[in-house]
């Protein structure tokens, strides 16, 4: 049975609502929400289903969902704001702000090379205790001392977890705050965005249960970079429990959000940086942050990728409509957020029934294609 659909959907986006209903009718969803922003205005916001696996708790307008790597789009925005403020430059060396990073031949690696997954630190090849991920300083020290797994600048290799520590430590050393604190103080609080990196205990009761996929994603040909990134027992945090996972800050992996919060924030990047009448990023910096840094076969993901400074570019993956200039990020299980500066359209999809798609979840693609058809 298709659950009751709630929210906002004007007649011109009727096919978006139909696609949303179909995702439930075909058994592909447990609970989900999809939001669209155009020209800074929330034009679609649909939600339905259940927030728990037992189907007793409705997925409602206050439900938070883990968005995993979609968090990277927020981290990329936070770094871009430092560049916009003149506190950081994409072309400068990481070692200029983080001297210890110069170890093991990494002295010339730049900020933009880290942000575009080129510096070769996709994961730890040698065994670590999985609970080490909960110790920020220890992880950053290991990354600073580590030798790249491939020649930097020769290729991208997606960093599922380490990206957050690298970008987050660069941010902390320049700004003085963690990314989670800056997000809360500068953006989420002032603009009433229900979006978190590091979730306070008081909010844990709103988080949807996840229904894990039955299988593993297709990683293509496995190499050392892929194995370190995804396929060792220590490639992701473990051993501390769900509450601690939600509580810590990992700007690559453990964001929690509602779809309209993500859509409104990323929507500013499709609207010349404007969010509720204020500029959060200049148009020039939006263009610079989303500009291609590398294009080619990724060493970790089984895709040809085009990377900006922390953003996936739609020109290679074509998962967020037809736009060549569209950019954003996807998250494990199916979540995504995207911005299209050409049309002013942006959107976000969150859900708690996870798929095995690494990029381009079929449910989200169906919704986004219907949205573009309505323009």
What residues are annotated to the active site? 69
Query: What's the first-to-final CA gap in the chain, in angstroms?
Result: 30
Residues making up the chain, counted from first to last: 375
Place of tokens 């229900």: 194
Please write down the HEC assignment for all residues of the chain: CCCCCEEECCHHHHHHHHHHHHHHHCCCCCEEEEEEEECCEEEEEEEEEECCCCCCCECCCCCEEEEECCHHHHHHHHHHHHHHCCCCCCCCEHHHHCHHHHHHHCCCCEHHHHHCCCCCCCCCCCCCCHHHHHCHHHHHHHHHHCCCCCCCCCCCCCCCCHHHHHHHHHHHHHHCCCHHHHHHHHHHCCCCCCEEECCCHHHHHHECCCECCCCCCCCCCCCHHHHHHHCCCCCCCCCCCHHHHHHCCCCCCCEEECHHHHHHHHHHHHCCCEECCEECCCHHHHHHHHCCCEEEECCCCCCEEEECCCCEEHHHHCCCCCCCCCEEEECCCCCEEEEECCCCEEEEEEECECCCCCCCCHHHHHHHHHHHHCC
203-207-213 Cα angle (round to 5): 155
268 and 40 Cβ atoms separated by less than 8 Å: yes
């Amino acid at each position: 049975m298709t659950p009751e659909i709630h929210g906002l959907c004007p007649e011109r986006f009727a096919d978006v609502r139909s696609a949303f209903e179909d995702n439930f009718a075909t058994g592909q969803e447990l609970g989900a929400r999809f939001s669209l922003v155009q020209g800074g205005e929330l034009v679609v916001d649909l939600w339905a289903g259940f927030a728990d696996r037992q189907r007793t708790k409705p997925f409602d307008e206050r439900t938070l969902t883990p968005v995993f790597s979609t968090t990277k789009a927020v981290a990329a925005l936070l770094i871009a704001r430092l560049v916009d403020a003149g506190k950081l430059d994409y072309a400068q060396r990481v070692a200029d702000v983080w001297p210890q990073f110069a170890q093991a031949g990494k002295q010339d690696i730049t900020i933009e090379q880290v942000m575009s997954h080129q510096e070769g630190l996709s994961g730890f090849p040698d065994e670590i205790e999985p609970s080490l991920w909960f110790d920020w300083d220890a992880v950053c020290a290991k990354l600073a001392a580590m030798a790249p797994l491939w020649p930097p600048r020769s290729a991208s290799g997606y960093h599922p977890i380490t990206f957050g520590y690298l970008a987050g430590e660069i941010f902390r050393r320049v700004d003085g705050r963690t990314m989670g604190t800056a997000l809360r103080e500068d953006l989420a609080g002032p603009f009433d965005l229900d979006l978190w990196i590091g979730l306070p205990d008081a909010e844990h009761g709103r988080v949807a249960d996840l229904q894990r996929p039955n299988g593993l994603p297709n990683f293509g040909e496995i190499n050392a970079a892929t194995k370190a990134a995804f396929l060792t027992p220590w490639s992701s945090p473990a051993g501390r429990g769900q509450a601690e996972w939600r509580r810590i800050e990992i700007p690559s992996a453990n964001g929690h959000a509602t779809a309209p919060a993500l859509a409104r924030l990323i929507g500013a990047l499709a609207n010349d940086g404007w969010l509720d009448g204020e500029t959060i990023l200049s148009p020039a910096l939006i263009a610079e942050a989303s500009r291609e840094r590398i294009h080619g076969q990724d060493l970790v993901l089984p895709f040809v990728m085009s990377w900006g400074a922390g953003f996936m570019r739609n020109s290679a993956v074509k998962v967020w409509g037809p736009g060549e200039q569209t950019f954003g990020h996807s998250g494990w299980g199916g979540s995504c957020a995207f911005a299209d500066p050409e049309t002013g359209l942006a959107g976000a999809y969150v859900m708690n029934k996870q798929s095995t798609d690494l990029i381009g979840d079929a449910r989200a693609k169906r919704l986004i294609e219907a949205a573009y058809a309505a323009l």
